[in-house]
Amino acid sequence: MDSILVRGNGPLSGEIAIAGAKNAALTLMPATLLTDEPLTLTNVPRLSDIKTTNELLSSLGTEVAVMQDGQIIVLDTNQITNHTADYDIVRKMRASILVLGPMLARDGKAIVSLPGGCAIGARPVDLHLKGLEAMGGTIELKEGYIYATAKNGLKGATIDFPFASVGATENILMAATLAKGTTQINNAAREPEIVDLADCLRKMGAEIRGDGSPTITVQGVEKLYGATHPVVTDRIELGTYMLAPVIAGGEVELLGGRINLLSAFCEKLDEAGISVTETKRGLTVASRNGRISGVNVVTKPFPGFPTDLQAQMMAALCTADGISVLEETIFENRFMHAPELIRMGASIDVHGGTATVTGVDKLKGAPVMATDLRASVSLILAGLAAEGETIVSRVYHLDRGYEQLVRKLSACGANIERISA
Ligand code: EPZ
């Protein structure tokens, strides 16, 4: 298993091009199952999760053509030849559950392995299943698989989510495009990835209103058509790299970044004393006087502070002036980066869903272990300004969500290299 070696190396300067959003691509790709015409996605990030999704869709009968070094993918599902998403693929990537709604809507049947939990939490899919049942689906759970059928096709329904679940909103939104009648999703997730999915589905002929607001209305149609759609910029990659100059000092321009993708996050940076400026090509981030002030963070569904940036923000707050309190309200176990940061000399107290960080002068490099995608990148960020060497092991987690991370940071002056095991 590869590791990444980072040595604290002073302020950064340069530019980083932000890729297409992993969490948008992972829901756009299953949309191919809704039509028998080709769906072309551009600005696709080059990540292992995308490869896994290509594998999954091919196993269902999709013809996958990858071009331009993976940045363009043409998905053609003339017909679904296999309606079972196997455990051995689903266990690698939970987002595989997003083939359930489209397959059920297209052919009235789908067998999908239950995704199971992951490091950050149990991550049930009850809201996905309840939504599909409300639309006339019959759901049975047997031997770790979801057996879904809809003999007479799906019908429109009003669905009230107790929690603004991103994945459940995406599954139901895709299923509703081909259901008979109108579907209304109340307390829908509002993430930019949901709006991106709705934009793509509308290009395919779907009738969708209200995406980005808490209430989405879908008028089912007979058929969807092929389309070409660019994947929206990855706001989590953007926020991650915005914190690199915050931690290491200096100034970096993030190409393709826009403040409206991350307004709550940018407000927090402003509160901490970081200036974020929109430029013609993206965003520039610079730490005003070298150190940041401690701030309190509560993660929330969009437009609140993103849970996917909590670990990275914690890394930045380890060397802030004063005390910061971070409250993780989305996942039940998303502080696994804390013990690793403590190994680097951070002062962090975790109690349940709250972590209290007391700023220290400097962190010290140490061997640390990645536990999940965002925790691993928070350790890399911490290593940028730590004294000495930080070796982050199990970087396969990183490959799931950050394309060319070593190249992007080295280009801004970071002393970072990948060590093959
Ligand atoms: C998506 O996961 C993202 N993944 C996650 O990003 C992100 O952290 C999360 O949304 C929240 O923003 C993808 O888009 C592929 P949820 P998802 O359904 O859809 C509970 C990353 O690092 N819940 O909004 O699984 C669930 O347990 C990943 O890129 C139910 O209880 O998130 C969790 O506590 C990590 N029942 C909370 O809701 C359900 O049926 C948020 O889940 C569904 C969810």
Q: Give 166 Cα–ligand 1 centroid separation in angstroms.
A: 6
CB of 302 within 6 A of ligand 1: the answer is no
CB of 331 within 6 A of ligand 1: the answer is yes
Domains 3-19+233-419 and 22-230 in one fold: yes
Instruction: Look at residue 236 in the predicted model and tell me its pLDDT.
Output: 98
CB of 43 within 6 A of ligand 1: the answer is no
Mutate to test the pocket of ligand 1, among 118, 165, 261 (most ligand atoms within 8 A of CB): 165
Count Cβ neighbours within 10 Å for each residue of 160-181 and write b for 16 or more, e otherwise: ebeebbbbbbbbbbbbbbbbee
For the chain, domain boundaries:
3-19+233-419, 22-230
Q: How far apart are CA 258 and CA 65, in angstroms?
A: 30
Instruction: Look at residue 365 in the predicted model and tell me its pLDDT.
Output: 97
For residue 332, give the ligand 1 atom closest to its CA: 34
Q: Give 168 Cα–ligand 1 centroid separation in angstroms.
A: 9
Q: Give 124 Cα–ligand 1 centroid separation in angstroms.
A: 9
The CATH architecture assigned to 3-19+233-419 reads Alpha-beta prism (3.65)
Q: Give 167 Cα–ligand 1 centroid separation in angstroms.
A: 6
Instruction: Look at residue 86 in the predicted model and tell me its pLDDT.
Output: 94
Catalytic residues: 118
CB of 128 within 6 A of ligand 1: the answer is yes
Superfamily of domain 22-230: Enolpyruvate transferase domain (3.65.10.10)
The series of mean pLDDT values per 10 residues for the chain, 421 residues long, is: 92 96 98 98 97 97 97 98 95 94 98 85 91 98 96 97 97 98 98 98 98 98 98 98 95 95 96 93 83 96 98 98 97 95 98 97 95 94 96 92 96 96 75
CB of 146 within 6 A of ligand 1: the answer is no
